[in-house]
Homo-oligomer: A and B are copies of this chain.
């Protein structure tokens, strides 16, 4: 239900939002929707009954958003059918490796015609392992009749959950869908901008995690702000090259979904990708780091797929290549740093 114009004198009818996945970003997305004047009800699905009970009972999700009180307007459930029935848009806040399976459950939960009117909004920033598919491609296979949108930008969940302002981008090939999603999320502290470049927004979201690993490695190794800024700049150039080769629009990468998200991820100590990179840069092995973490950093999973995609499309991605070398124990940190620094100088 799209809200009518403010002047029509009727009661405001908002969009009912269903968020699937109660990790830090999913829970934060639910908070954002309850603060938006365009959303009227927010349902949050979690796999774990204990998490659902905690959210509905004590209004917290201590594991993923410690210290944050959740609004009473969020209703949590373990029942996907219930969520789908009560939602006008379906927000997928699960990692890329679980996206296909859970989206299939969402589809199978509601066989009514109405289901096909409900857009799928992806918050995931990874590629499917093996197929290298973007989430829009996975969704097109699982739910070919549903519209699709992606929400992305410099959106570190912890800051947003604490009420810090930010800006975001919603991209859909259908501007009406994008506008509907915009109205469900937009609020005074979460400004949502429209974009029609789904491919560009997805590629930017995926590859920034890999670049953030690389920047984290340099940081952990002890390099300073100059090198970090140079790596981020070169990293965005790599992201842009791949994104354009896959059909994205160059402007997307210069905007909030590209540069904005990349910078926020590369500088925040909240970012898992940045943290894993820093530990790699200080000499820890990926195996040791992964086994010590509750949540996987998307960039670690995406890096080899991104490199394969780049090779397939003949796109040079030297930073991504070196990140993969480090992750797969094929090069030492000092070797990788000097390889990145010693590239031949010529025109930029």
Interface residues, chain A, with chain B CB atoms under 8 Å away: 153-156, 159-160, 162, 164-167, 169, 182, 186, 188-189, 191-195, 223-230, 232-233, 236-237, 240, 251, 254-257, 259-264, 267-268, 270, 341-343, 345-348
Given that A165-B223, A224-B159 are known contacts, is A230 also in contact with B345, CB under 8 Å in the complex? no
**B residues less than 8 Å from A165 (CB atoms):** 223, 226-227, 341
B191 touches A224 (CB 8 A): no
Give the CA-CA distance A342 to B167 in the complex, in Å. Answer: 10
Contact indicator B227/A268 (Cβ below 8 Å): no
Q: Select one of B191, B233, B255 contacting A233, CB under 8 A.
A: B255
Tell me the nearest residue of chain B to A268, going by C-beta: B225
For the complex formed by this chain, how many copies does it contain in all? 2
A264 CB contacts on chain B under 8 angstroms: 225-226, 228-230
Contact indicator B225/A156 (Cβ below 8 Å): yes
Nearest CB in chain B to that of A154: its residue: B229
Residues of B within 8 A of A225 (CB): 154, 156, 159, 264, 267-268, 270
Partner of A260, one of B195, B229, B261: B229
Q: A192-B345, A193-B345 are in contact. List 4 more A-B contacts (CB 8 A).
A: A156-B224, A165-B341, A194-B345, A228-B263
A264 to B233, CA, bound (A): 10
Residues of B within 8 A of A261 (CB): 229
